[in-house]
């Protein structure tokens, strides 16, 4: 089965629930960090965000197999509908430790 990098962009406020849910789903290894999402097609929560052209988000990066990533996206969409959770999934060409 092919491995992928699943990236989830979550609005602030649901990151703790999303973090705990990923662990409950058996996703034991992921990266979580605060980021700024840029793009004209997004709505902004504050005037400062609109001026900067970005909005704060929490990004989760998960390496897993494609089937698990697809299931995570489907279940997350049902669990947090309408909150603006976004994702992308790309093939993972390699992973490991250096040194």
Q: Domain coordinates of the chain in residue numbers?
A: 3-91
Q: What pLDDT score was predicted for residue 20? A: 96
Helix pair angle (66-79, 15-24), 10° resolution: 140
* Residue in the structure block whose two tokens are 């049902």: 78
Confidence class for position 9, pLDDT limits 50, 70, 90: very high
Contacts of 54 (CB under 8 A, 6+ apart): 36, 37, 38, 39
User: pLDDT tens across 36-73, in order?
Assistant: 887 655 565 655 555 556 678 999 999 999 999 999 99
CATH of domain 3-91: 3.30.70.120
Q: What is the pTM of this model?
A: 0.83
């Amino acid at each position: 089965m092919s491995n992928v990098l699943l990236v989830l962009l979550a609005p602030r406020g649901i990151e703790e629930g999303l973090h705990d849910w990923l662990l409950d789903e058996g996703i034991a290894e992921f990266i979580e960090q605060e980021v700024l999402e840029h793009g004209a097609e997004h709505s902004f929560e504050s005037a400062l965000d609109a001026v900067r052209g970005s909005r704060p988000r929490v990004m989760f990066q998960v390496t897993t197999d494609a089937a698990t990533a697809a299931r995570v996206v489907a279940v997350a969409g049902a669990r947090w509908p309408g909150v603006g959770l976004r994702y992308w999934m790309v093939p993972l060409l390699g992973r490991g430790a250096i040194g």
